[in-house]
Amino acid sequence: MFCSLDCSDDLLEYPLFHASAKDAWASKGLGEEKKDITCIFESVIEHIPPPRVDTDSSHFSMLVSQTESNNYFGKMLIGRINSGSVKVGDKVAAIDSTGEIKEVNKIFKIIRRYGMSQVNF
């Protein structure tokens, strides 16, 4: 496949694992211990760079990927922060793709999700 796509040789430098999803193990080589899948997570951290977020910017921007309704707080937005930072009490504006401001609201609560659970800040 790499030859058909005329890819460069540096794309062939990727980690290989021997794994069994049924038995819940993975290893980097045939002779290594097969106890869990920690080596895959360590390899992700080693080979994939973290997202670039400009926290020093005074301009807060977030790409919203999902909205939810909360009985106590109203509209909740879920998304990825691209730049800046936000805290409870800050005013934020919803801007569409043309740059037009659609609504302005105040941050009442910041929640971080871990799987199905939520952690309040």
Q: Are residues 79 and 115 in the same domain?
A: yes
Same domain, 113 and 66: yes
Separation between Cα atoms, residue 109 and residue 59, nearest integer Å: 19
Percentage of the chain lying above the pLDDT 70 cut: 95
CB atoms within 10 A of CB 119: 9
> 59 is written with which tokens?
């301009």
Taken in order 47, 114, 87, 102, the sign of the CA dihedral is positive
My answer on whether 40 and 65 are in the same domain is no
Q: Collapse the DSSP code of 80 into the 3-class scheme (helix H, G, I; strand E, B; otherwise coil) and give the result.
A: strand
Q: Which residues of 92-103 are buried (b: 16+ CB within 10 A; e: fewer)?
A: eeeeeeeeeeee
Work out the average pLDDT over 74-90.
87
pLDDT at 1 over 80: no
pLDDT at position 52 is 76
Does 37 have pLDDT greater than 80? Answer: yes
Indicate the DSSP class of residue 42: H
> Same domain, yes or no, for 89 and 42?
no
Question: Residue 102: inside a domain, yes or no?
Answer: yes
What's the first-to-final CA gap in the chain, in angstroms? Answer: 47
> What pLDDT, on the 0 to 100 scale, is given for residue 31?
79
Residue 71 lies in a domain: yes
pLDDT at 113: 78
Q: Which of 50-54, 87-91, 107-111 is predicted with the least confidence, judged by mean pLDDT?
A: 50-54
53 assigned to some structural domain: no
Residue 18 lies in a domain: yes
Sign of CA dihedral 95, 97, 99, 102: negative
Do 66 and 21 share a structural domain? no
Same domain, 65 and 107: yes
**43 and 73 share one domain:** no
At residue 2, the pLDDT reads: 67
Tell me, yes or no, whether 75 and 116 share the same domain: yes
The answer to whether residue 1 sits within a structural domain is no
Query: Is 102 in contact with 75 (CB distance < 8 Å)?
Result: no
Q: What is the total count of domains within the chain? A: 2
Same-domain check for residues 29 and 66: no
Confidence of residue 91 (pLDDT cuts 50, 70, 90): very high
Q: Does residue 2 form part of some domain?
A: no
Domain that holds residue 30: 9-47
